[in-house]
Amino acid sequence: MSGENGGMHHARRLAPPPAAIPLAPRGTAWLAAVFAAGAVGRGGIVRRAVRHVEREVGRPAFEAAVRARGFHLVECGGQFVVICNTGRMTLIC
């Protein structure tokens, strides 16, 4: 699908979020701290190393937490980037 100015809109729907993933109290506290960052409230971005996320809570739990908030998650170069905005996202390049 081409958007304005020749940009591509990726409107692909992914699988529904997994059922609630039980977390250890430490994992729950870690997720709460990640999403308590000031950038979250301002619609900014949060970046975390994939290795760190996998060690603290696991990829499925992190993805479920992002989906539950309606945010967008990108993985690139060993980093997760959470775009803390529920608006429509267009990947430019």
| pLDDT for residue 90 is more than 70 | yes
Work out the pLDDT band at 23, boundaries 50, 70, 90: low
Distance CA 23, CA 29 (A): 9
Percent of the chain whose pLDDT exceeds 70: 73
pLDDT level of residue 5 (50, 70, 90 thresholds): very low
Tokens standing for residue 21: 């993933």
Give the closest residue to 60 by CA, choosing from 31, 25, 90: 31
Which of 17-21, 50-54, 73-77 shows the lowest mean pLDDT across its residues? Answer: 17-21
The answer to whether residue 4 scores a pLDDT higher than 50 is: no
